[in-house]
Amino acid sequence: MTDIGERLGDVPLVAILRAPDPARFLPVVEVLYHCGMRAVEITLTTAGAVECIQELRSSMPSDLLVGAGSLRSSSDLLAAHDAGAQFVVSQFASVELRDAADALGVDYIPGALTPTEVALCRAAGAAVVKLSPVGPVGGIAYLVELLAPMPDARIFVTGGVKVDDIVGYVDAGAAVVGLSRDLLRDALSPDGDLAALAGRARTAVDAVMTRSLSSRHAEAEVGL
């Protein structure tokens, strides 16, 4: 399996879209893309999510990664794969989903919360493990403590992540940061403010790009 964090490079952000229906998903994703985000996760708890994945794959530029989230069964995975999902995510770890993803050649990101669960996911072959919901259990501080004894773990943090805390999570060791409620707010509602969404998306992208540039400068100075 490939590492989604490495695929996303300097902008290791994933926007996670969840709503009763996907009526506003395309315009929202267009805003996010134009602001520099290059990955979205469409949750299968949204009615019409599979059709939305198909639409995004056909209408958005090819460098946008479109994934499916909240998978619960191999039938969910098959539907997501057939729709063109480039990665799939579950809230829990599943041998059934892992084996089905391997057979289809789809990147599967299992969910975990405790150190034991993260270790088991990695032992089962996961390149990246989703840590969720990270916000309610301590946020950045929890990630710091979790990674202290396993610093090589590749973690995708989601669940209660604030836009203002993105750099903190990256500095704490997160490989990927998933943004949902605090990024999207009212944008998925019929009269949602897309201009305000664009402002938050630019803030998020600028934060990680500035942090990445600073890290490269620091590494270059060390190499002198």
Q: Which residues are catalytic?
A: 41, 130
Half-sphere CA count of 158, side-chain side, radius 13 A: 28
Q: What DSSP assignment string belongs to 38-68?
A: -EEEEETTSTTHHHHHHHHHHHS-TTSEEEE
**Distance set, CA 62 to CA 54, 59, 119 (Å):** 13, 9, 33
Beta carbons of 188 and 19 less than 8 angstroms apart: yes
Please enumerate in sequence order all residues whose Cβ is within 8 A of that of 222, keeping only pairs 6 or more positions apart, or say none.
Answer: none
**DSSP character at residue 38:** -
Cα–Cα distance measured from residue 113 to residue 134, given in angstroms and rounded to the nearest whole number: 7
Look-up: residue for tokens 């990955």? 39
Element (H, E) at 107: strand 107-109
Half-sphere CA count of 213, side-chain side, radius 13 A: 6
Which residue type is seen at 212? S
Provide the b/e sequence for 51-61 (b: ≥16 CB within 10 Å): ebbebbeeebe
Phi-psi region of 16 (alpha: psi -120 to 50; beta: other; left: phi over 0): beta
